[in-house]
């Protein structure tokens, strides 16, 4: 969800900082700081000298894949009459646990 947040925020602003991610996700700054360190160590992002966050090519691929899951699942739930807010919240939870096989079937159905 952190990679997805950086992707979305990066489309809205020239630079993304940890405080932006914390606000967007409604989590604490220490939680974001810990996650950013882990993502940096895993090669998903870099941090500028000004504290800006930038996805690496690997990080962007992963973020786009997660975001695609989120959008597809939200639209899928909405197609059953779930309101947009609930669909988005539920898609956020589902996207992290759904199997690739099941997601592929939903995506092909949509």
Where are the domains positioned within the chain?
Answer: 2-57, 62-109
Per CATH, is 62-109 categorized as 1.10.60.10?
Answer: yes
Query: pTM surpassing 0.85?
Result: no
pLDDT digits (tens, 9 = 90+) for 58-96: 999 999 998 999 999 999 999 999 999 999 999 989 988
Please compute Rg for the chain using Cα positions: 15
Work out the pLDDT band at 8, boundaries 50, 70, 90: very high
Topology at the third CATH level for domain 2-57: Arc Repressor Mutant, subunit A (1.10.10)
13 three-state secondary structure: coil
């Amino acid at each position: 969800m952190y990679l997805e947040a950086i992707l979305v925020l990066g489309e809205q602003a020239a630079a993304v900082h940890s405080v932006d991610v914390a606000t967007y996700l409604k989590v604490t700054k220490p939680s974001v700081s810990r996650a950013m360190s882990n993502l940096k160590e895993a090669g998903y992002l870099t941090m500028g000298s000004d504290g800006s966050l930038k996805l690496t090519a690997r990080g962007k691929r992963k973020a786009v894949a997660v975001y695609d899951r989120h959008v597809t699942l939200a639209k899928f739930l909405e197609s059953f009459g779930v309101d947009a807010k609930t669909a988005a919240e539920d898609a956020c939870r589902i996207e992290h646990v759904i199997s690739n096989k099941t997601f592929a079937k939903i995506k092909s159905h949509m």
